[in-house]
Amino acid sequence: MRALLLALTLTSSLYAAPPTPADAERFVRDADTQLRRLWVAQNRAEWAKQTNITAATERAAAKAGAAAMSWITRAIKSARRFDPLLHTLDPAVARQLKLLRLAGQPAPDSAAKAKQLAAVMTGMDAEYGKAKACVAGARCRDLGELDNLLTTSQDPKVLLEAWLGWHDAAGRTLRPMYPRFVALANEGARAIGFADVGEMWRSGYDMPPDEFQRTIEGLWEQVRPLYEALHCYTRRRLGEQYGAEVVSPTGPIPAHLLGNMWAQDWTALATRLEPQPGLARTDTTGALVEQRADAIWMVKLAERFFTSLGMEPLPSTFWERSMLTKPAGREVVCHASAWDVEINNDLRIKMCIKPNHSDLITVHHELGHNYYYNHYYREPVLFQQGANDGFHEAIGDTLALSVTPDYLRTVGLLPEGGGRDASLNQLMSSALDKVAFLPWGLLVDKWRWDVFAGRIPPERYTEHWWALRRQYQGVVPPVARADAGLFDPGAKYHVASNTPYARYFLATILQFQFHRALCKAKGHTGPLHACSIYGSAEAGKPFRELLRMGAKQPWQDALAVVTGGERAMDATALLDYFAPLRTWLDAQNEGQACGW
């Protein structure tokens, strides 16, 4: 009966009498019921598809996605009749109405186009998961194998083959689909009052879209000098290895040489760039392999970090329902993700875990999402999200900053021993992950904002992609990528899955801001990079308060809770954390022509 009443509300709202606050309260209660039903159905279908990609699971996921998008679009339009009441409504009701407008990708008004949008979104995600690089006479290789080559090889020919293999395989498959997706997605955004999808995304931060754009550009300007110092040193060292004919001493760095398919994470270069060669650093890969650590062991280790702060163990269903390793004989999406499928503390992660340091950190990150879900799952469904999407991504990474050498020694993943302080190696390894990521975290959505706004036509998608990568990252493709049939942005999962990406840039800033505040709560007085909050009830208390808030209040309020009053995102904590490394880099770069 409630579903019928809400359906009648949605279809007749244009002709109804002026709404009252009681009408608004009934509307959000009924919307909560319907969103739970639709999102649980969508989650179930998506989980089935991503853990077993078949034609049948793709069709089911597309059908569930279309149903959710169509309902959300109608609900958003109906909810707009309450706009004149927003300042007089109960704050919780008003906030749910605001969040509903940003609750997902809206569908076009046409039922046929809504179905097409769901199908193309499901298709892009599935095609990415199935993509392989195939060379005549050789075995086809998936992304995991190709990225592993970029991580482990130092042969420029091998690196080039792996890089081209993936970009050509994934990009060419998705190239015909993406312009149609953009047109349909924009039609859905315009149907609920936004100019395009990019404006809709930028509206989700409790500030006007243009102010959000200025905010993230301001954060980038804070950290850009540190990134340029790291880039300058890295380029010189790679030039010494590969020669000036491969790496220009004054220009951008070829993307295939940085140890990662997207040049977003340079940690594979750590041993070649470490300031203190031969000293121990925070790489536990060898110990994990030696101790035969499996996926369950790695997840349990990460779980203990959260429980040490006063949080509950993961529910038994987590261990029964998660996909922790790649199943044999099935096509799956290995890209790590965290889930509450039933929206009732049905916590899971989906990941193809391997025994290496990078995956150990990723496991901490994904459990951060799960513990966020765990703390707010009793709230109305629209409050079951981060204060902003950068908060959600930052939570697990905040814990990972406490995975210090001292902590790793306590759990037997680094050898005991004194000797020289290796903190510069620790900071370099972390910078190759965090600082190297910053421009990438910014430019992925800057590219999409331009595409959604119609400033970049399909034939220039790849050209504009590389223009932004050169501008922000100082990175160029290893060979010319001028073919209009190429689609290099499609080599990144988040483009194929239509996942907004500014959240990851914000998360990289916020995690250090959180870390500094929690270390202060613990009473830490030494260098910020040496702090671990493991086992600190004092740090756990404000952390749990942040998690419980979900999206009930603007992110500025949530930030103030965990930081003791700060209400603006600020990169000074990141700069504080890396200050010793910045001093070292500046000395190494003296006399160099930095920049590109």
pLDDT digits over 128-160, tens only?
Answer: 988 999 876 678 999 989 999 999 999 999 999
d(CA 175, CA 190): 24
In this predicted structure, the answer to whether residue 1 has a pLDDT above a threshold of 70 is: no
Mean pLDDT of the chain: 92
In this predicted structure, the answer to whether residue 11 has a pLDDT above a threshold of 60 is: no
Supply the pLDDT for residue 418.
54
Percentage of the chain lying above the pLDDT 70 cut: 96
pTM of full prediction above 0.85? yes
How confident is the model over 250-288, as pLDDT tens digits? 999 999 999 999 999 999 999 999 999 887 667 789 999
Q: What mean pLDDT is predicted for residues 92-98?
A: 96
Contact by Cβ (8 Å): 79, 97: yes
Angle at 300 between CA 298 and CA 306, to 5 degrees: 115
Q: Which helix (H) or strand (E) holds 253?
A: strand 253-254
Question: Are β-strands 253-254 and 337-340 bridged in parallel, bridged antiparallel, or unpaired?
Answer: unpaired
Supply the pLDDT for residue 309.
95
How confident is the model over 411-439, as pLDDT tens digits? 888 777 655 677 899 899 999 999 999 99
In this predicted structure, the answer to whether residue 14 has a pLDDT above a threshold of 70 is: no
d(CA 473, CA 147): 19
Supply the pLDDT for residue 16.
56
Sign of the C-alpha dihedral computed for residues 387, 448, 505 and 429 taken in this order: positive
Which residue reads 């039609």 in tokens? 187
Supply the pLDDT for residue 403.
84
Supply the pLDDT for residue 552.
97
- A 10 A CB-CB count for 211 gives 11
d(CA 41, CA 52): 17
Least confident of 10-19, 100-109, 156-165, 457-466: 10-19
The residue ranges of every structural domain in the chain are 2-123
Top mean pLDDT of 363-367, 479-483, 554-558 is at 554-558
Bridge partners for 251 per DSSP: none
Longest dimension (CA), the chain: 78
Q: 248-253, long-range: CB within 8 Å, 24+ apart, which pairs? A: 249/593, 250/593, 250/595, 250/596, 251/476, 251/596, 252/470, 252/473, 252/474, 252/475, 252/476, 252/596, 253/474, 253/475, 253/476
